[in-house]
């Protein structure tokens, strides 16, 4: 998928050296590119809030990181986001959505419905993308705002861009 390659280039351009993730199907392309890259380390997390703590530590150590996860993981991050908000630490997030358009699994819908509101309640600047060819440019802008402004930012990749999960 070409958007994965473009997102990988965005990570490179912003000198992101460590990727934290609880994986999602839609992120497989980007994560594989990062795993196979000599310039990036991938840290697989037990739960997503660990990634916010990791972003705090990477920034303290003068390195740039990014957090890649599924929208259900956003719920796990709520209190953790108070840390990067209190310290003005960049926290760039790329989030694949569940529980939207055409979702087959109703258990995914409540958190998918709440993802953007809870992030915005925690001070995260959110950018929703519905077309695959806009993912990388939007993530580029979100990384710029995070690293230059000390903000938490998130690109939410709509299921229209990903296709819905079916069994």
What is the binding site for other proteins (CB under 8 A)?
A: 17-18, 41, 43-47, 49-63, 65, 79-80, 82-83, 86-89, 150
Least Å from the CB of residue 96 to other proteins: 20
Helix (H, G, I), strand (E, B) or coil at 27: helix
Distances in Å between the Cα of 118 and the Cα atoms of 53, 57, 156 are 18, 23, 13
Tell me whether residue 37 is exposed, middle or buried, using C-beta atoms within 10 angstroms of its C-beta: 0 to 12, 13 to 18, 19 or more.
middle
Nearer to other proteins, 69 or 135 (CB): 69
Nearer to other proteins, 54 or 124 (CB): 54
Radius of gyration of the chain (CA): 14
Least Å from the CB of residue 85 to other proteins: 8
Nearer to other proteins, 90 or 99 (CB): 90
Least Å from the CB of residue 163 to other proteins: 30
Least Å from the CB of residue 92 to other proteins: 14
Least Å from the CB of residue 57 to other proteins: 2
Nearer to other proteins, 24 or 50 (CB): 50
Cα–Cα nearest to 18, from 35, 32, 1: 35
What is the C-alpha separation between 91 and 166, in angstroms, rounded? 31
**Do strands 64-70 and 91-96 pair parallel, antiparallel, or not at all (unpaired)?**
parallel
Nearer to other proteins, 35 or 133 (CB): 35
């Amino acid at each position: 998928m070409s958007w994965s390659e473009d997102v990988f280039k965005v990570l490179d351009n912003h000198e992101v050296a460590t990727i934290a993730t609880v994986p999602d199907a839609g992120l497989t392309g980007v994560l594989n590119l990062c795993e196979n890259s000599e310039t990036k380390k991938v840290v697989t997390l037990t739960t997503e809030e660990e990634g916010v703590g990791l972003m705090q530590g990477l920034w303290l150590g003068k390195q740039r990181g990014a957090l890649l996860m599924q929208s259900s993981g956003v719920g796990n991050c709520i209190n953790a986001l108070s840390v990067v908000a209190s310290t003005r630490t960049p926290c760039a997030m790329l989030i694949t959505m569940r529980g939207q358009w055409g979702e087959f699994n109703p258990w995914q819908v409540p958190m998918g419905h709440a993802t953007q509101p809870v992030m915005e309640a925690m001070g995260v600047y959110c950018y929703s993308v519905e077309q695959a060819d806009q993912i990388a440019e939007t993530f580029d802008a979100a990384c710029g705002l995070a690293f230059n402004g000390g903000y938490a930012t998130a690109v939410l990749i709509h299921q229209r861009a990903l296709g819905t999960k079916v069994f």
